[in-house]
C-alpha cells in the first residue's frame, strides 16, 4: 500500500508540473491602462485580407466618416511564405475563402481589400503570388514600409497621445518604429524583424542597430510605447486579464524567460528587439493593442464606396 501511495503521489506531482509548464509564469506588476475609444456613429462595415511573411489574416471593422472604428471580427492564419511551405495556388485558394467569409459577415465586395505587407514582398515566392493575382485580375495593394508604419500608427495611436508617444510594430520581416512630426504627420523608421536569424544576422548586431534606430525618436515622445505585431501578441497573451483592449507589457526581460524557452528562436529574437527598444528609450509604459493592425489603418484611409 505504501508503494502504491508513493507512486500515486509521484504521478500527481508529475501531472501537475506538466499541466502548469504549458503556460509560462510571467509576473506582471503592471497596472491597467484606462482609455475608452470613441465608437463609430452611422458606420460602414469594411474588410481587409492581409498577406504577410508569416501571417495570413483578415479583419472586419465598423468605421464612420470621422475614422472612429470598432473591430467586429479578426481571423488569424499562417501564410508559410517565409518557410517556403506554400504555393501561389494554395495562397489564392485561401484568399478566396477568406473573402467569402468576409462577404458572409455582411461586408459588400466593394469594401473588401487585399494588402501584401512590406516584409512579404521581399520574398521570391510572393512575387509568384503577385503574378498569379494579376493574371486573375484580382485587385490588391503592396504596402510599403513607410505606409505600413503610418497605417499602423493611425490605427493604434489615439490623437491624445501624439505628443508623448511612439509606435512599434515588430513583424517577422521587419520592425517599424513611428512617431509624429510636424502637423501630425508620421515618420517611420525600419529595422530588423523577429526572423533576422534567417538572414544570418546575430543578436548583438541587431541589438545595436535597433538601438541606433530608436535613438532618433525625440525625447518628449518616449513616455508611452504603443506596440503591435506577432511577438508582442505572444508576450501579451500571458498577461491579458479581462479581455481588455490594451494590455500593459512587462518591461523586465526575465519575465519572458520561460516563454522564450518554450516558443523558441523567433520569440527570443523578438524579445531581443524589444529589450533594445526599452533600453534606449527608457520607456516604462508599453501598451499592446489587441485590436489594432496596419491593415486596419489602411482601411481607415479608404473611402466608403457602398453602404452596407
Task: Report the pLDDT value the prediction gives residue 308, as an integer from 0 to 100.
Answer: 59
CATH class of 152-289: alpha beta
pLDDT band at 304 (very low <50, low <70, confident <90, very high): low
> What are the domain boundaries of the chain?
44-144+294-300, 152-289
* Structure confidence by residue, pLDDT tens digits, 137-190: 999 999 999 999 999 999 999 999 999 999 999 988 899 999 999 878 999 999
44-144+294-300 and 152-289 agree in CATH topology: yes
Give the domain 44-144+294-300 fold.
Answer: Nucleotidyltransferase; domain 5 (3.30.420)
* Structure confidence by residue, pLDDT tens digits, 195-205: 999 899 999 99
Per-residue pLDDT at 249 exceeds 70? yes
DSSP 149: H
Average pLDDT over residues 109-119: 95
Rounded-to-integer distance, Cα 2 and Cα 82, Å: 55
Q: pLDDT above 70 covers what percent of the chain? A: 88
Average pLDDT over residues 235-246: 87
pLDDT band at 266 (very low <50, low <70, confident <90, very high): confident
* Structure confidence by residue, pLDDT tens digits, 283-297: 999 999 999 999 999
Per-residue pLDDT at 121 exceeds 70? yes
Per-residue pLDDT at 59 exceeds 60? yes
Cα 54–Cα 246–Cα 165 angle in degrees, nearest 5: 90
Per-residue pLDDT at 298 exceeds 90? yes
Long-range contacts, 215-220 (Cβ 8 Å, 24+): 215/280, 216/189, 217/166, 217/177, 217/179, 217/281, 218/179, 220/163, 220/164
Number of CB atoms found within 10 A of residue 91's CB: 21
Residue 250 φ then ψ, to 5°? -70, 145
At what angle are helices 265-281 and 230-237 packed, to 10 degrees? 90
Task: Report the pLDDT value the prediction gives residue 52, as an integer from 0 to 100.
Answer: 93
The SS3 call for residue 206 is helix
Amino acid at each position: 500500500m505504501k508503494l502504491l501511495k508513493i507512486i500515486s503521489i509521484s504521478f500527481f506531482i508529475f501531472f501537475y508540473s506538466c499541466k502548469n509548464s504549458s503556460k509560462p509564469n510571467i509576473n506582471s506588476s503592471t497596472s491597467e491602462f484606462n482609455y475608452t475609444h470613441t465608437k463609430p456613429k452611422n458606420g460602414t462595415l469594411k474588410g481587409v485580407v492581409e498577406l504577410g511573411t508569416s501571417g495570413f489574416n483578415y479583419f472586419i471593422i465598423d468605421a464612420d466618416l470621422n475614422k472612429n472604428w470598432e473591430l467586429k471580427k479578426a481571423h488569424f492564419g499562417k501564410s508559410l511564405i517565409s518557410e517556403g511551405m506554400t504555393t501561389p495556388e494554395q495562397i489564392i485558394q485561401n484568399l478566396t475563402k477568406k473573402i467569402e467569409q468576409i462577404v458572409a459577415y455582411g461586408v459588400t465586395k466593394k469594401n473588401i481589400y487585399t494588402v501584401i505587407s512590406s516584409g512579404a514582398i521581399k520574398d521570391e515566392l510572393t512575387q509568384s503570388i503577385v503574378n498569379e493575382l494579376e493574371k486573375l485580375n484580382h485587385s490588391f495593394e503592396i504596402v510599403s514600409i513607410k505606409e505600413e508604419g503610418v497605417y499602423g500608427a493611425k490605427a493604434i495611436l489615439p490623437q491624445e497621445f501624439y505628443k508623448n508617444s511612439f509606435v512599434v510594430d515588430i513583424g517577422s520581416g521587419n520592425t517599424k518604429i513611428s512617431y509624429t512630426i510636424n502637423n501630425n504627420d508620421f515618420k517611420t523608421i525600419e529595422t530588423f524583424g523577429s526572423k533576422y536569424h534567417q538572414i544570418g544576422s546575430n543578436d548583438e548586431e541587431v541589438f545595436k542597430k535597433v538601438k541606433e534606430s530608436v535613438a532618433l525618436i525625440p525625447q518628449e515622445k518616449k513616455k508611452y510605447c504603443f506596440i503591435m505585431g506577432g511577438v508582442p501578441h505572444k508576450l501579451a497573451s500571458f498577461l491579458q486579464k479581462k479581455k481588455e483592449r490594451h494590455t500593459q507589457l512587462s518591461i523586465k526581460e526575465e519575465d519572458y524567460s520561460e516563454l522564450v524557452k518554450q516558443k523558441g528562436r523567433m520569440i527570443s529574437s523578438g524579445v531581443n528587439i524589444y529589450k533594445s527598444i526599452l533600453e534606449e528609450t527608457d520607456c516604462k509604459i508599453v501598451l499592446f493593442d489587441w485590436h489594432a493592425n496596419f491593415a486596419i489603418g489602411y482601411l481607415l484611409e479608404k473611402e466608403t464606396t457602398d453602404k452596407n
